[in-house]
Amino acid sequence: MTARIGVVTFPGSLDDRDTQRAIRLAGAEPVALWHKDKGLGQVDAVVLPGGFSYGDYLRAGAISRFSPVMESVIEQAKAGLPVLGICNGFQVLTEAHLLPGAMLGNDHLHFICRDQKLRVEQTGTAWTGDFIAGQEIHIPLKNMDGRYVADAYTLDQLEAEGRVVFRYLDVNPNGSLRDIAGITNEAGNVVGLMPHPEHAVEPLIGTGRTDGLPFFTSILKKLVGA
C-alpha cells in the first residue's frame, strides 16, 4: 500500500511544494489538491500548508476556511481523517473550528523568521508517533500572526487532556499563551502547529537538521501499519 497524502493549495500558499517534497521523502505519495476542489480524491490524509492564503485578508485563514475543499476536509476530519495544519494551515484549522482557540498577530507586531527550539509534549497523535515525549527539536518558524490564544478554560482543558503537542523553548517568539506551538483535537487525528517541519527534512536546507521528517514518517506508519 502506498499512502496518499493530499496537500491543499490556496491562493497565496507558499509551502505546498515543500510539503509535497517532504511527503515524498518520507515514502508516501503527495497528491495536489486545489482550493476549489469539492472532494479529496480518496487521499488517506491531508496537509494544509503554510503561506498567506487569500493574502490573509480579514484574518489569517478566515477566507480559506470557506473554500470548497474545506467542506470535505471538515467533514472527513470529524470522521477521523488525519489532518495537519502548518502555520497558515493551523490558522485555517482554528477558523474552521477543527481546533480550539485563535491565532492573533505576534505580540511584537513584526514578522518573524528564525530557527525555533521546541519540546515535543504529545506523541499519541497521528502525526507525532515517531517522536519521543520530551524530545527537543529545532524547526524553522516564520509568521506574522502566530500568537496562539484561548480562554483560560480551554487552555486548562488542553493541558489536562494532553492536547498541547509542542511548546516553545528558550524563547516565546510570538507571545503564544503558555508557550504553545501546536495542539491537537480530542481524537488526535487533527494537529496544528506554527513552525514549519517541511523545511527541516534534509540536512542541506532549513535548520541543517531533519527534525521535521518524523511528522511525515509518523503519518506514513499510522496509515500503512508499519
Return the active site residues. Answer: 87, 196, 198
- Cα separation of 75 and 205, whole Å? 35
CA of residue 200 relative to chain centroid, distance: 14
CB crowding 84-109: b at 16 or more within 10 Å, else e:
bbbbbbbbbbbbbebbbbbbbbbeee
SS3 62: coil
Q: How far apart are CA 4 and CA 70, in angstroms?
A: 18
For CA atoms 211, 213, 214, 215, give the dihedral sign: positive
Task: Give the long-range contacts of residues 183-186, CB within 8 A, separation 24 or more.
Answer: 183/99, 183/100, 183/101, 183/148, 183/158, 184/99, 184/122, 184/125, 185/77, 185/98, 185/99, 186/161
**The three grid cell numbers given for residue 181, joined into one nine-digit string:** 506551538
- CA-wise closest residue to 41 among 65, 73, 83, 10: 73
